[in-house]
Amino acid sequence: MDIRYVSGGEELLDIIRDLWQELNNLHLEKSPHFRALYAQNTFEARKNSLLAAAKKGSLLTALAYDGDLPVGYCIASLVEGTGEIESLFVLESYRKNGIAARLMDEALKWLAQLNPTKTVVKVSVGNENAFGFYARYGFLPRLTELQKI
């Protein structure tokens, strides 16, 4: 497997459309309480929120390709001193090959250069199996936010 990595900013967002949709479908499937929210999610709305973050601060889009096929991405932002791993996804058939780790390393390296006051990642309920991956990078559960349906 010869994976190629590319990094940039908001100009790369449209490339992740199909991958983002798969991630949204994963959240839709796993969410015990907010399926309706994920069912209504659109890529355009998410893209607009990321573009708004970019206007307020900085945005990184890191992509992994197998040939011309995008197989994974990581988006990170820095807004008002807070670094955030906004989204990370790798196609299921490409997992367990270090792609997510490489994308995460790129995002954290980029954030470190910007010197955030804190760095966070939000994990949707139902996707707690991602905690172990994020713990390898020092991300540990701090709060549980409850939201009224």
* In a domain? residue 147: no
In the sheet that holds 3-8, the strands lie side by side as 3-8, 58-66, 69-79, 82-90, 118-121
* In a domain? residue 144: no
> Looking at the 3D structure of the chain, how many domains does it have?
1
The per-residue pLDDT for range 19-41, each reduced to its tens digit, is: 999 999 999 999 989 888 899 99
CA 56 to chain centre: 18
Q: What is the CATH number of the domain that holds 13?
A: 3.40.630.30
Q: What distances in angstroms separate CA 132 from CA 14, 86, 91, 102, 135, one per listed residue?
A: 29, 17, 18, 16, 5
- pTM, full prediction: 0.94
The per-residue pLDDT for range 111-128, each reduced to its tens digit, is: 999 999 999 999 999 999
* In a domain? residue 46: yes
**Closest to 58 measured CA to CA, from 134, 117, 118, 116:** 116
Range of 50's domain? Answer: 3-135
pLDDT of residue 79: 97
Chain mean pLDDT for the chain: 96
pLDDT of residue 88: 98
